[in-house]
A and B are shown apart, each in its own frame.
Chain A
Amino acid sequence: MSTAASSSGGGTREQGRSEFGVALFLGAVGLLVLVSALLLPESRISRGPVGPAAVPIVVAILLIVTSVFLAIDVARGGRGEPEGGEDIELGGGTDWRTVLMLAVAFIANALLIEPLGWVFSGAILFWGAAFALGSRHWIRDAVIAFVLSIGTWYVFALGLGIVMPPGILEGIL
Chain B
Amino acid sequence: MDALSSLIDGFGTALTPTNLLFAFLGVLLGTAIGVLPGIGPAMTVALLLPLTRGLDVTTALIMFAGIYYGGMYGGSTTSILLNTPGESASVITALEGSKMARAGRASQALATAAIGSFVAGTIATLGLALLAPTVAQLAIKVSPADMFAIMVLAFIAVTAVLGSSRVRGLASLGLGLAIGLIGIDKTSGQQRLTFGIPELADGIDIIVVAVGLFAVGEALWTAAHLRRRPVDVIPVGNPRMSRSDWGRSWKPWLRGTVIGFPFGAIPAGGAEIPTFLSYVTEKRLTKHPEEFGKGAIEGVAGPEATNNASAAGGMVPLLTLGIPTSATAAVMLAAIQGFGIQPGPRLLSSHPDLVWGLIASLFIGNTALLVLNLPLAPIWAKLLRIPRSYLYAGILFFASLGAYAANANVFDLFLLLIIGAMGFMMRRYGLPLLPCIIAVILGPRAEEELRQALQISNGHVSGLLDPMSIVVFVIVALLLAWPIVRRLLPRRATDSVLAEAAHEIEEAHEHTGLTTAVSVERHTERRTEVSVERSNEPGAW
Contacts and interface: CB of A to CB of B under 8 A. Distances in A.
B382 interface: no
B188 A45 contact: yes
B396 A105 contact: yes
A76 B520 contact: yes
Interface of A: 1-4, 6-8, 12, 15, 19, 22, 25-26, 29-30, 32-33, 36-37, 40-41, 43, 45-52, 55-56, 59, 62-63, 66-67, 69-70, 73, 76-92, 94-96, 98-99, 102-103, 105-107, 109-111, 113-114, 118, 122, 125-127, 129-135, 144, 148-149, 152, 156, 159-162, 164-165
21 contacts: A3-B523, A36-B193, A40-B192, A46-B188, A48-B452, A50-B454, A78-B167, A81-B517, A81-B519, A86-B85, A87-B226, A87-B231, A95-B224, A98-B226, A102-B220, A110-B400, A125-B393, A125-B397, A134-B226, A161-B54, A164-B404
A149 B404 CA distance: 13
A2 B178 contact: no
**Which of B54, B167, B219, B515 has the most CB atoms of chain A within a 10 A radius of its CB?**
B167
Interface stretch (B129-137, B287-295, B366-374, B425-433): B425-433
Given A7-B516, A80-B429, A106-B417, A33 B410 contact: no
A6 B523 CA distance: 13
Contacts of A78: 165, 167, 518-521, 523
A88 B229 CA distance: 11
Contacts of A46: 187-188
A111 to B, nearest CB: 8
A89 B227 contact: yes
A113 B413 contact: yes
Nearest to B177: A59
A2 B514 CA distance: 9
B86 interface: yes
A118 B397 CA distance: 11
Nearest to B456: A48
Given A79-B430, A99-B223, A52 B192 contact: yes
Given A83-B428, A90-B516, 13 more contacts: A3-B515, A22-B429, A29-B174, A29-B175, A32-B193, A36-B192, A50-B450, A52-B192, A56-B181, A59-B177, A62-B177, A73-B520, A87-B226
A162 B167 contact: no
Given A63-B178, A106-B396, A126-B397, A133 B223 contact: yes
B106 interface: no
B517 A3 contact: yes
A4 B85 contact: no
Nearest to A2: B516
Contacts of A55: 181, 447, 450
A87 B515 contact: no
| Chain B interface bracket (under 10, 10 to 19, 20 to 34, 35 or more) | 35 or more
B54 A133 contact: no
A89 B231 CA distance: 12
A92 B225 contact: yes
B173 interface: yes
Interface of B: 37-38, 50-51, 53-55, 78-79, 82, 84-87, 164-165, 167-168, 170-171, 173-175, 177-178, 181, 185, 187-190, 192-193, 216, 218-229, 231, 387-394, 396-398, 400-401, 404-405, 408, 410, 413-414, 417, 424-425, 427-431, 447, 450-452, 454-455, 458-459, 510, 512-521, 523, 530, 537, 540-541
B190 A52 contact: yes
B410 to A, nearest CB: 6
* CB-CB nearest 10 A-B residue pairs: A80-B430, A49-B459, A160-B54, A79-B517, A129-B393, A78-B520, A133-B389, A80-B429, A48-B455, A86-B37
B52 to A, nearest CB: 9
Nearest to B78: A86
**Which of A50, A84, A131, A160 has the most CB atoms of chain B within a 10 A radius of its CB?**
A84
B393 A130 contact: yes
Contacts of B458: 49
Nearest to A155: B51
B430 A49 contact: no
Contacts of A95: 223-226
A70 B171 CA distance: 8
B196 to A, nearest CB: 11
A40 B195 CA distance: 11
Nearest to B425: A22
B343 to A, nearest CB: 20
A70 B85 contact: no
Contacts of B173: 62
B171 A148 contact: no
A88 B389 CA distance: 13
